[in-house]
């Protein structure tokens, strides 16, 4: 039975299952799981199945998330479902999807419902919600982790293979570690936060929960990209994971700095994970990580507590009892810092940022830290809600302040059957590097998928990628291998990476009067496109300018979306040239058209 995103999409494309059947199975699993605290709201089942049937009727099988059921944390807007942020008095009905949700839908995903969270995304424990405490997927006595509690449990329990969370101080990583799943925290601004209820707007990012790294990357590829509606969005190149780098330097704390608060099982699990990384070819480098601990302490000392208070400020003034007692205690604290406190914290952060930059420039490539130092029961956290929550952020609270990207990975299972994980961290913009390491490490753990007792599927090979100093370029016509202009690519040092297809959003035209004959690729909307055969070449950056200087109208170089969601540079045509060109989309590619024309 297909469980992962990639397996589900493959089954849909092969006709082994339909999107409607997968959605029906999702609702059946939710009923069988019988935990009303996982979802705050669910879509009507018939409505979701009808959407799946409509998707199938379009024949959009090339979409990267074709028919995949998805859950969304309930501080992210989904049109037609209320956004509560786990506070009924705050609830509102959004008129539009958040940008990330809209992009998931455009990639073929089907939203099932909105998941529970620590109120206003304030907490790493998963118990601060009037909608109940989602059961940890392994042991109901243990906390599920937060704030993205419902999203993590929904994936670990196999209710959905993919869920969106948010991450400000570890909310997309800690619950992943406690539920034996992958939690991807992207670089700041890589995914638009338009349509997200802010926790700390300057630090917030949407995170991804999945059963495997490849699934998380498929979702990230679908939703990443700049958004004019989000003033904190950034145009950061996503890249694509390749082979795991050899002898990558992994920074780990000095032995005396490794904090586990007496949890010998988690300490032993972390040591075993480092040993496995070393066997996989990584170089383990012990470093002084006190600067990162010092950065983490900033999060609850100054302006970022005040920033958390902004969203709840009106409720604090008009109806403070509507806010969870622990959340209220934290957010009230945000009313006290002064502007002087804020600037002092900003100065300190910039000093620590320089230290972080030096460590990554001269000592290590990636940090490999425990996702959490220990785990707690619900009873323990309710008895000591603030201190125990603070401990869980030991290895997470500094990450967003320093704009690091992170990838939380299942790493071990204790003798008491408690999951534990490690998190890989790198400077912003290096998300693909973390995936290169993480997918190999996760496969090597041989842990089951989430709590499903299903073995991890074989790790598929990653498609070849352009190396540093190269640009990936999709060619569709005369530059294909063996055709008249291919020599131009080879003369400039180009090398073939792969044969591929575009997303089903394009029309292919035979241009009129070109020598040699050339096609034009045009992106279209409204389901009127098809998938077109291309080749992806790697061209040295130093030669790229010379190459595109020879591209003449009506052709140009833009971004072409491939069938798996990757965006690469490629040949496109101007829409004005359509009237004088022949639509040859039905051939599926330039080679097939040339073969027909020669007969």
Rounded to whole angstroms, the Cα distance separating 448 from 4 reads 12
Q: Give CA–CA dist 451/250, Å, rounded.
A: 29
Q: Annotated catalytic residue: which of 129, 171, 187, 233? A: 171
CB 399 within 8 A of CB 302: no
304: exposed, middle or buried (Cβ count in 10 Å: 0-12, 13-18, 19+): buried
Burial class (CB in 10 A: 0-12, 13-18, 19+), 73: buried
**Cα 426 to Cα 360: distance, rounded to the nearest angstrom:** 8
Please indicate whether residue 518 is annotated as part of the active site.
no
- Contact between 349 and 295 (Cβ < 8 Å): yes
Angstrom distance (rounded) from CA 505 to CA 522: 8
Look up 147 and say whether it is catalytic: yes
Q: Which two tokens stand for residue 491?
A: 């003369």
Angle between helical axes of 431-445 and 213-223 (0-180°, round to 10): 160
Could you say which of 73, 114, 518, 569 is catalytic? 73
Q: Distances from the Cα of 120 to the Cαs of 142, 209, 287, 505, 577, in angstroms?
A: 22, 19, 35, 38, 51
Find tokens 């993590």 and name the residue: 152
C-alpha distances in Å from residue 504, one per residue of 94, 325, 524, 560: 30, 50, 9, 11
Q: Is 233 a catalytic residue?
A: no
Q: Which one of 147, 192, 233, 356 is the catalytic residue?
A: 147
User: Using only C-alpha atoms, what is the Rg of the chain?
Assistant: 25
Residue 231 C-beta-side C-alpha neighbours within 13 Å:
3
Q: Which of 175, 206, 215 is nearest to 188 (CA)?
A: 206
**Residue 205 Cα distances to 76, 305, 587, angstroms:** 11, 17, 42
- The closest of 257, 292, 289, 252 to 272, measured between CA atoms, is 252
Catalytic residue numbers read 73, 147, 171
């Amino acid at each position: 039975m297909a469980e992962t995103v990639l397996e589900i999409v493959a089954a849909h494309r092969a006709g082994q299952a339909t999107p409607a059947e997968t959605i029906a199975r999702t609702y059946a699993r939710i009923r069988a799981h019988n935990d009303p605290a996982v979802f705050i709201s669910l879509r009507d089942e018939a409505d979701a199945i009808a959407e799946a049937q409509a998707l199938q009727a379009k024949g959009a099988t090339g979409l990267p998330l074709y028919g995949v059921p998805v859950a969304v944390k309930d501080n992210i807007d989904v049109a037609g479902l209320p956004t509560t942020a786990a506070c009924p008095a705050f609830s509102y009905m959004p008129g539009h999807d958040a940008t990330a949700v809209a992009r998931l839908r455009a990639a073929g995903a089907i939203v099932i419902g909105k998941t529970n969270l620590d109120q206003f995304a304030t907490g790493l424990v998963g118990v601060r919600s009037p909608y109940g405490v989602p059961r940890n997927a392994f042991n109901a006595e243990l906390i599920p982790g937060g704030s993205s509690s419902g999203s993590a449990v929904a994936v670990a329990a196999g209710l959905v293979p993919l869920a969106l969370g948010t991450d400000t101080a570890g909310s997309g990583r800690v619950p992943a570690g406690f539920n034996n799943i992958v939690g991807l925290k992207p670089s700041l601004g890589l995914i638009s936060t338009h349509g997200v209820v802010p926790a700390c707007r300057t630090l917030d990012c949407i995170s991804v929960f999945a059963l495997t790294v490849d699934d998380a990357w498929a979702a990230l590829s679908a939703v990443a990209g700049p958004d004019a509606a989000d003033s904190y969005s950034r145009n950061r190149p996503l890249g694509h994971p390749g082979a795991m780098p050899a002898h990558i330097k992994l920074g780990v704390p000095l032995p005396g700095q490794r904090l586990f608060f007496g949890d010998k099982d988690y300490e032993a699990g972390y040591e075993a994970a480092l040993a496995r990384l070393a066997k996989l070819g990584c170089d383990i480098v012990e470093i002084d990580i006190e600067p990162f601990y010092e950065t983490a302490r900033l999060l609850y000392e100054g302006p970022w507590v005040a920033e958390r208070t902004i969203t709840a400020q009106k409720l604090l003034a008009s109806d403070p009892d509507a806010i969870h007692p622990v959340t209220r205690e934290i957010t009230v604290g945000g009313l006290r810092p002064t502007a002087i406190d804020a600037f002092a914290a900003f100065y300190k952060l910039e000093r620590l940022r320089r230290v972080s930059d030096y460590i990554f420039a001269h000592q290590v490539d990636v940090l490999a830290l425990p996702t959490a130092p220990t785990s707690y029961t619900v009873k323990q956290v309710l008895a000591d809600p603030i201190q125990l929550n603070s401990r869980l952020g030991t290895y997470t609270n500094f990450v967003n302040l320093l704009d690091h990207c992170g990838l939380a990975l299942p790493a071990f299972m204790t003798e008491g059957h408690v999951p534990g994980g490690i998190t890989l961290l790198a400077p912003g913009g290096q998300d693909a590097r973390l995936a290169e390491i993480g997918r190999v490490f996760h496969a090597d753990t041989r842990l089951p998928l989430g709590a499903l007792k299903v073995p991890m599927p074989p790790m598929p090979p990653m498609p070849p990628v352009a190396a540093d100093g190269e640009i990936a370029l999709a060619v569709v016509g005369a530059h294909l291998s063996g055709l008249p202009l291919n020599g131009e690519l080879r003369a400039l040092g180009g090398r073939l990476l792969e044969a591929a297809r575009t997303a089903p959003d394009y029309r292919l035209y035979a241009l009129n009067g070109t020598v040699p004959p050339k096609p034009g690729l045009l992106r279209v909307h409204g389901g009127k496109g098809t998938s077109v055969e291309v080749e992806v070449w790697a061209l040295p950056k130093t030669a790229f300018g010379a190459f595109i200087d020879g591209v003449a109208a009506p052709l140009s170089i833009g971004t072409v979306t491939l069938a798996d969601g990757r965006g690469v540079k490629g040949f496109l045509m101007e829409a004005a040239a359509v009237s004088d060109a022949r639509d040859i989309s039905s051939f599926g590619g330039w080679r097939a058209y040339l073969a027909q024309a020669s007969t």
